[in-house]
Amino acid sequence: MERRKTIDPSVVEMLAQAKEKEISTPFDRAEVTKPCPIGREGACCKHCFMGPCRLVGKTLKGVCGATLETVEARNLARSIAAGAAAHSDHGRNMALTLIAVAEGKAPGFQIKDEKKLRRVAAYLGVNVGERSKEDIALDVGKVALGEFGKQEGELIYLKRAPAKRQEVWRKLGIAPRGIDREVAEAMHRTCMGCDQDAEHLLLHALTCSLTDGWGGSMIATDISDIIFGTPVPVAATSNFGTLKHDEVNVVIHGHEPVLAELLVAIVSDPEIQAYAKSKGANGINIVGMCCSGNELLLRHGVPVVGNFLQQELTIATGAVEAMVVDYQCIMQGIVAAAEKAHTKIITTSPKVKITGATHVEFDEHNGVEIAKSILRMAIDNFPNRKNVHIPDYMDRMVVGFSHEYIAYMQGGVYRESFRPLNDAVIAGRIRGAAGIVGCNNPHTPHDEAHIGIVKELIRNDVLVVTTGCAAVAYSKAGLLTPEVMEYAGPGLREVCAAIGIPPVLHMGSCVDNSRILTVLSQMATEGGLGDDIADLPAVGIAPEWMSEKALCIGAYAVASGVYVLFGVDSPVAASPKVADLISKGWEEKVGGKLEFEPDWKKIVEKSLAHIDAKRKALKIADYDPMRFARSATYLPADYLPYEDYDKGLYSVKSHSR
């Protein structure tokens, strides 16, 4: 029997379309391009040209004598460094953009959230006083930029973490000095003939990951909020049905919101609209994909067309005039797909060119003109449409839960806090919290683990926060609506209804996982739930991960004290010793641990067991699923059994067919 590729019926429909149009997708390529079993388990070393050395069977050592543990640890550390480099480079770009905005050299941009600017300035030690917002922003940008090249001391944002957590880092010597320094050091240590002790290598991997979570990503989130606005709840739609038959469809894909923001700002420009009309279109429809999509979704309610595995399929609709990409998670396959459709692939980052794509380099100093020229190219392409097929699936959602807004929801402007949430956890209405994030991976059925885990956790009164492609999966399944309370356990349901939040909170793109760190820190310092992130009844999960960035996020969550579970397969599967070092070993050191568990139902079980164990350690009420069932209007009798976890989602209520 053919393996199930996806649980999203719109994707099933588009896979048939793609086949008909002979468009290759990652779903097909994953069948043909089988992963190398040695590399997949982390047992291949190609860090020098005496190899690659494949440590399997009787081969226990590389040419240099490297053991399996060293090879595995080195590979994992390098992946984490690559992830940290990518996310942090995004943060660097945001710092540079803020400086350009402050200097008046980035027309079309302004400082939208002055309150946040002042808050961030205070964190970064920038004098606020009676200074203009531009002056403050200039210093904030410069201090943020300085974090990248810093050689000594420690990252400023570390002090956002609970005091106890900071102590853990200092004691272990893993408090990062500067972002670039730790990434460069990871590359150095993993170079041939350098660091050769698995435990030591893996400890630096944690340092390196912290530069992302409490450095580059946090900078990216904060500065994006300053320039583009801090998200507040907004209603929006998702899936292929957000593409329009009668308008020029432009898909924004990648990670950086700068150009994307300009495109959204100028799309209603009368001159652009008139130009679209002159080519027979009724307007221009901007939709997002992956994390650039999430940035636009949260701040403007721009629809999101799909997650990571849907990029070629979106082109296969024949309805996309242009796919505008910046960097990260862009499949090279989109160019081949575009050749079979009429789509123009436009690369925009000075760091990224793709053979066969059109390169229009973005420069914030002249951004408006560049954005207009990109829209004109898309409009010019509208008359070239042929063979359009847009699956009739569109879902509703409410998104935009920044940590600031979550605090505001719990007390208003004057009394914002995390008290109600902490009290609900202490009383057992909320059993615990889960951050569920990350990608899709064609080696596991698309969105299946994501949806299964979320449904099971909210049914068990676990509050879920989410970002990235995980969040897009939930949006397409109708899990980001207040109506999803129907699936939530009685206690969680009571709390969400009282505060006015859905049980699954979309907090943004993957760099916005830094928002989750801030929420965890606030919960830990609010009182009643210990005094460190490691004390909280909380877990982090990446059910369908594929990216080095995901590994880095997992590692910084661990270093922050979180139990992290990844689905799919383990990149250190060949070495039980290394698997032990990153689970038990890391737990002894930092309180968090990293485990790989391909069975999503086991992920749920392990998560709940961990949450309950943490509750016990905190000496708060044991969780009792029936305790609040009597006071809530909820009747748990209609819980869906495991086997039916995806019924009642795609099949019944979430789609506006």
Interacting residue ranges for ligand NFS, rule: CB under 6 A: 255, 290-291, 308, 328-329, 438-439, 468-469, 509-510, 547, 549-550
Which of 147, 512 has the CB closer to ligand NFS?
512
- Residue position matching structure tokens 């990224």: 352
Residue 304: Cβ within 10 Å count: 33
Which of 317, 440 has the CB closer to ligand NFS?
440
- Residue position matching structure tokens 């053979």: 355
Least distance CB 294 / ligand NFS (angstroms): 7
Least distance CB 205 / ligand NFS (angstroms): 18
Least distance CB 50 / ligand NFS (angstroms): 32
Least distance CB 120 / ligand NFS (angstroms): 22
Residue 390: Cβ within 10 Å count: 23
Least distance CB 89 / ligand NFS (angstroms): 12
Least distance CB 109 / ligand NFS (angstroms): 23
Secondary structure class of 207 (helix, strand, coil)? helix
Which of 45, 220 has the CB closer to ligand NFS?
220
- Residue position matching structure tokens 């676990």: 462
Least distance CB 625 / ligand NFS (angstroms): 31
Bridge partners of 396, per DSSP, are 237
Bridge partners of 433, per DSSP, are 463, 538
Distance (Å, rounded) from C-alpha 247 to C-alpha 238?
A: 17
Q: Where are the alpha helices (DSSP H) in 481-547?
A: 490-499, 513-526
Distance (Å, rounded) from C-alpha 156 to C-alpha 314?
A: 41
Secondary structure class of 375 (helix, strand, coil)? helix
> Taking a C-beta distance cutoff of 8 angstroms, is the pair 624, 428 a contact?
yes
Secondary structure class of 345 (helix, strand, coil)? strand
Which of 43, 439 has the CB closer to ligand NFS?
439
Distance (Å, rounded) from C-alpha 613 to C-alpha 616?
A: 5
In 440-488, DSSP assigns E strands to 462-467
Distance (Å, rounded) from C-alpha 446 to C-alpha 423?
A: 36
Least distance CB 29 / ligand NFS (angstroms): 16
Least distance CB 92 / ligand NFS (angstroms): 15
Query: What is the CA 631 to chain-centroid distance, rounded?
Result: 36
Which of 403, 549 has the CB closer to ligand NFS?
549
Which of 438, 502 has the CB closer to ligand NFS?
438
Least distance CB 513 / ligand NFS (angstroms): 9
> Taking a C-beta distance cutoff of 8 angstroms, is the pair 220, 295 a contact?
no
Secondary structure class of 344 (helix, strand, coil)? strand
Which of 285, 466 has the CB closer to ligand NFS?
466
Which of 165, 300 has the CB closer to ligand NFS?
300
Least distance CB 31 / ligand NFS (angstroms): 20
Which of 491, 567 has the CB closer to ligand NFS?
567
Which of 90, 165 has the CB closer to ligand NFS?
90
Which of 422, 518 has the CB closer to ligand NFS?
518
3 state SS for 534-583? HHCCEEEEECCCCCHHHHHHHHHHHHCCCEEEECCCCCCCCCHHHHHHHH
Buried/exposed code over 131-165 (b: 16+ C-beta within 10 A; e: otherwise): eebeebbbbbbebbbebbebeeebbbbbebbbebb
The encoded tokens of residue 105 equal 């050299």
- Residue position matching structure tokens 């490297």: 66
